[in-house]
Amino acid sequence: MDVVPKKPNPPYGPKDVQLEDLEGQRKNFSFPVAFDIEHSGGSVGNGLEEGQIGGPKPGHYPIGLLFDLLASSSALPWNITVHFKSFPEKDLLHCPSKDAIEAHFMSCVKEADALKHKSQVINEMQKKDHKQLWMGLQNDRFDQFWAINRKLMEYPAEENGFRFIPFRIYQTTTERPFIQKLFRPVAADGQLHTLGDLLKEVCPSAVAPEDGEKKNQVMIHGIEPMLETPLQWLSEHLSYPDNFLHISIIPQPTD
Amino acid sequence: MLSVSMEEDEFFGEKTFQRFCAEFIKHSRQIGDGWEWRTSKDCSEGYMCKTYFQIKPGTVVSHLGTSAHVQTCLPTEEALELPLDDFEVTETTTGSEVIKYEYHVLYSCSYQVPVLYFRASFLDGRPLALKDIWEGIHECYKTQMLQEPWDTITQQEHPILGQPFFVLHPCKTNEFMTPVLKNSQKINRSINYITSWLSVVGPVVGLNLPLSYARTASQDE
| pLDDT for B2 | 33
pLDDT, one tens digit for every residue, chain A (255 residues): 233 333 333 332 223 333 333 333 444 444 333 333 333 322 222 222 222 333 455 656 777 777 788 777 777 777 666 655 666 666 666 655 677 778 788 889 999 999 999 999 999 999 999 999 999 988 888 999 999 999 999 999 888 999 999 999 998 887 788 999 999 999 989 899 999 999 999 998 888 777 778 888 999 988 899 999 999 999 999 999 999 999 999 988 776
Cβ-defined contact of B125 to A175 (cutoff 8 Å): no
Q: In angstroms, rounded to a whole number, what is the distance separating the alpha carbons of residues B197 and B168? A: 12
| pLDDT for B131 | 73
Q: In angstroms, rounded to a whole number, what is the distance separating the alpha carbons of residues A58 and A30? A: 9
Q: In angstroms, rounded to a whole number, what is the distance separating the alpha carbons of residues B191 and A66? A: 44
| pLDDT for B95 | 55
| pLDDT for A5 | 31
Compute CA distances B28 → B24, B135, B198, B210, B219, whole Å.
6, 27, 13, 9, 15
| pLDDT for B18 | 94
pTM of the model: 0.74
Is the minimum CB–CB distance between B159 and chain A shorter than 8 Å?
yes
Q: In angstroms, rounded to a whole number, what is the distance separating the alpha carbons of residues B182 and A78? A: 56
Q: Within a domain: residue B63?
A: no
**Dihedral class, residue A222 (left if φ above 0, else alpha if ψ from -120 to 50, else beta):** left
| pLDDT for A68 | 80
Same fold, A2-83 and A158-251: yes
Residues making up chain B, counted from first to last: 221
State the residue range of the domain holding B126.
14-56+95-210
For an interface test with A, which of B171, B172, B174, B178 has the most A Cβ atoms less than 10 Å from its Cβ? B171
Please identify, in words, the CATH class of the domain defined by A2-83.
Answer: alpha beta
Which residues of chain B carry a pLDDT beneath 50?
1-9, 59-94, 149-151, 220-221
Nearest to A59 by CA among A109, A9, A3, A134: A9
At the second CATH level, the architecture of A98-154 is Orthogonal Bundle (1.10)
| pLDDT for A229 | 95
Domain with B46 in it: what CATH number?
A: 3.30.1460
Is B171 a residue of the active site?
yes
| pLDDT for A176 | 83
| pLDDT for B150 | 43
A82, with CB counted inside 10 A (0-12, 13-18, 19+), is middle
* 3-state SS string for A180-194: CCCCCCECCCCCECE
Is the minimum CB–CB distance between A75 and chain B shorter than 8 Å?
no
Q: What is the CATH number of domain A158-251?
A: 3.10.20.90
Q: Which residues of A touch B157 (CB under 8 A)?
A: 58, 93, 177
For an interface test with A, which of B44, B104, B110, B169 has the most A Cβ atoms less than 10 Å from its Cβ? B110
Is the minimum CB–CB distance between B136 and chain A shorter than 8 Å?
no
- Dihedral of alpha carbons B9, B181, B1, B32, sign: negative
**Is 0.90 exceeded by the ipTM?**
no
Residues of B numbered 169-188 whose beta carbons fall under 8 angstroms of chain A's beta carbons: which are they?
169, 171
